């Protein structure tokens, strides 16, 4: 099974592209567990919620992988939770750090924040998406994760993704 993860700053097109890839490749899509969790939360989230979100994301990936599909598309993964935890709280729960070391991803699609930022009650960073993009890029490089940079405003971005997927 090959696992592809879309990652990058908020409002960069991850969900839309992940949905399209899942349809085009007839692959299971693991959605962003944080959305479901936060939609049901009746209070502002805090750092302890990030561990629960990470646990939910890991469980959702495991469940989707039980059918052993040839390709698994993930709308996010633990890197997003780790980066957000560092950004918002200055520290990361050990569970998140441990699980990141255990996860295996065949290819990250790192989306550049070139689309206009769109309001969503769960989004918090409209003004520093380029800085966050650099953090994602630095994390993937530092941890030797395979990734392909994608600019969703480039008319050839989808062809670039298909070529990248064919090489994993």
**Distance from C-alpha of 157 to C-alpha of 162, rounded to nearest angstrom:** 9
The share of the chain scoring above pLDDT 90, in percent, equals 88
**Structural domain boundaries of the chain?**
2-166
Categorize the per-residue pLDDT at 118 as very low, low, confident or very high, splitting at 50, 70 and 90. confident
CATH topology of domain 2-166: Rossmann fold (3.40.50)
Buried residues in 125-138 as b, exposed as e (16+ CB within 10 A): beeebeebbeebbe
Q: How far apart are CA 154 and CA 161, in angstroms?
A: 12
> What is the pLDDT confidence band of residue 13, given thresholds at 50, 70 and 90?
very high
Q: What is the pTM of this model?
A: 0.94
Each residue of 127-152: pLDDT tens digit?
899 999 999 999 999 999 999 999 99
Contact 82, 100 (CB under 8 A): yes
Give tens-digit pLDDT for 24-46: 999 999 999 999 999 999 899 99
The pair of three-digit structure tokens given for residue 90, joined into one six-digit string: 């200055």
For residue 20, the model assigns a pLDDT of: 95
Report the pLDDT value the prediction gives residue 120, as an integer from 0 to 100. 78
């Amino acid at each position: 099974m090959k696992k592809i993860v879309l990652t990058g700053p908020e409002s960069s097109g991850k969900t839309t592209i992940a949905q399209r890839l899942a349809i085009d490749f007839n692959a299971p899509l693991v959605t962003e567990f944080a959305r479901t969790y936060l939609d049901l939360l009746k209070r502002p989230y805090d750092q302890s919620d990030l561990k629960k979100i990470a646990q939910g994301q890991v469980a959702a990936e495991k469940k989707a992988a039980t059918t052993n599909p040839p390709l698994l598309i993930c709308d996010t993964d633990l890197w997003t939770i780790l980066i957000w935890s560092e950004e918002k709280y200055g520290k990361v729960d050990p569970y998140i750090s441990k699980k990141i070391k255990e996860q295996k991803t065949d290819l990250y699609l790192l989306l550049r924040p070139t689309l206009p930022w769109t309001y969503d009650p769960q989004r918090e960073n409209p003004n520093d998406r380029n800085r966050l993009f650099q953090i994602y890029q630095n994390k993937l490089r530092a941890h030797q994760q395979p990734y392909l940079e994608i600019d969703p405003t480039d008319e050839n971005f989808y062809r670039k993704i298909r070529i990248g997927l064919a090489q994993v």
